[in-house]
Structures are given as C-alpha cells and as structure tokens.
Amino acid sequence: MPTAYLNIGSNRGDRRRFLDEAIIHIHNAWPAAVLRTSPLVESPAWGYRSEQQFMNIGVALDFDSASEMPAPTAMLRTLQNIEKIISADSPHRNTDGTYRDRDIDIDIIDMDGVTIDTPQLTIPHPRAQARSFVTGPMQYLCPGWTAGHKGPTLKKSMSDLARPDIETFRAKEKLPVSVVLDNIRSLNNIGSIFRTADAFAVREVVLCGISATPPSPEIHKTALGAENSVSWRYFPTTAAALDTLCQEGNIPVCLEQVHGSVALNRYNRPPGTGLALIVGNEVAGVDPAIVERCHTYIEIPQAGTKHSLNVAVSTAIALWQLFAETLP
C-alpha cells in the first residue's frame, strides 16, 4: 500500500483551526485514500526567531495502489491551493528569502518509492531529518522511518534468501577447498567451521587428530545442522590427511603466521586446482611438521594488539575471501 506523508504546521492565528481545516481539505482532495494523523507537536520556530510556537501534525495518506497515488507535482499544486484557500495571505518566506510566521504550511515529507529533486520540489524532504516536529510525527505514522525509507528494516526469510535444501546443496558445485582441522580442541569451533563451510559451499571439512566428529550435541550447538549438509572425513593424523589430499591433486595451503606468508587479500588461488586449507590448534596453531610440508602460507592482516584471531573466525575470513573470488 503506497503512502504519502505530509506535515502541516501553523504558528499564527488560530493554529488548531488552521490544521483541522487543512486535514479536511486534504481528505476531500483524495477521498479514496485512508487518512491517518499523528499527535500534535508544539515547538519553537525552525530556521528563524519568532515569539510564536509552531503547532505541527503529521498526515499519512494510504492509497490502494501506486496508480491511485497522485504524481508528486500534482500533489504539490493541490496542497498549495489548499494553503491559499485557508489563508490567502500567508507566504512562507519574506522577500529576502528568510522564513516568517505563517497561518498554514503543508509540506510533502515522503512518498513511497518516489525520489525527486527539482527547484519546486524535493522528495524525500531534504531537511526532514533535522526537524524534530517532522521526525516525531513520522515515527508515529511509520515506525522506523528514515528519509527515503518506509518502516523498519525487514529481515529476509529463508524463502527470500532462496536457500537450497540439503539434497540440492549436496549436489551443487562446490568451492574446491578442503578445510583441514589440525587438532582443533573446541567442539564449538568445529561447529562454527561447519556452518561457515555450508555458507560458502565448501567441498568438505577434514577432521584430524583430537578434532571431534559429528554427531555431537556440542558441534550441533554452533553448526546448527551444517554438519549434515557439509561433507566431512576423519583422519587420525593431519599428516595422513595431507597424504590423501595431495594424492587427490590438492595444493596444501597453511593459514598461519610465518615469515614469507602472503597476505590473504593478495593470495590468488591457482585456477583449476583444489586447495587443502590447513587451520591449526587454538593454542599451538598448525603443527610445525605440517607447516614444513606446505609451500604456501596465507596470513590475515591485522592492526590490533593480539597475536591472532580465533580459529573459527580466521577460517571464516579466509573462506569468504576464497569464495568472493568466484562471485560474478
């Protein structure tokens, strides 16, 4: 339902009567629209000095369809005519361009989906956010409103995101990366890595040594079912896992801070090859013997005081970077 939002103000004469008259004329101009009003707001004059307080009210006109809502310039002309009907001699500005007291002032604040910027009219109103007598009524009429945006931000549903079911996910083409967990001790970290692997359609998670395997309530707590969608294998040692992965044609890449490492943002995965991305233990990092078996090391640039990031966070950042390279 498209909506036009107006603000009516008066700081001279019988202010309440002028506002009531304006509302009646607006309703008569668009009788098919549902008219809603905000509570009254009183405030000092904005943009100039005045002894007179302004009284303002917000008005919303809900139209059944976009075709029923008038064009912005047509609505402006109608509102200007209403101003003249109510007060034939109530200009908004002095001859030098400064604001003045006035019987009636009707502004278009916003119109759903409309953006316009002409000498005569700008929508959304360019100064709306700076005026509490506008933002207050707008929040009442349209909670969460900001200029150019109607209502609170709505989170996307699974349907909106078009997420595949597990069987479709398993059959789809994957990012050719095997995430090798070198003796990860925290089941929560393992679960988080599973969930990241699902998000970026990673080929598999390879669990090594003391790394726990599904099914596990603790893994499920952070994986939230991703342990069922992402393929995984277990090897008693990381060395055995690397033997198999290298035989399958994967390049071993170590996510570790070593001399000669490449900044993640500067690493380019060789085209047409799979990676065995090795991530290490929460305390000791990747086993030195495994580090020696690798020829490529990637490191996440950091600017803080701590030595490194949590292994699940590091893995997520690295996988996002690799995944981003595949995006159109």
Question: Residue type at 220?
Answer: H
Using the predicted structure, report yes or no on whether residue 317 has a pLDDT greater than 70.
yes
Question: DSSP E strands: which ranges in 82-193?
Answer: 105-111, 116-117, 122-123, 175-182
Total count of residues recorded for the chain? 328
Per-residue confidence (pLDDT) for residue 220, from 0 to 100: 97
For 261-304, the pLDDT digits (tens) are 999 999 998 888 999 999 999 999 999 999 999 989 999 999 99
Q: Given this model, what pLDDT does residue 90 score?
A: 66
What is the model's pTM? Answer: 0.59
- What is the predicted pLDDT for the residue at 65? 84
Judged against a pLDDT cut of 60, whether residue 4 lies above it is answered with yes
Residue 20 clears pLDDT 90, i.e. is over it: yes
pLDDT digits (tens, 9 = 90+) for 110-136: 988 688 888 888 888 888 887 889 889
Output the CA angle 290-295-299, nearest 5 degrees: 85
What's the whole-number mean pLDDT along residues 61-66? 88
Q: What is the dihedral of CA 185, 274, 291, 191, to 10 degrees?
A: -10
Q: What three-state secondary structure class fits 52?
A: coil
Q: In sequence order, what are the beta bridge partners of 263?
A: 299
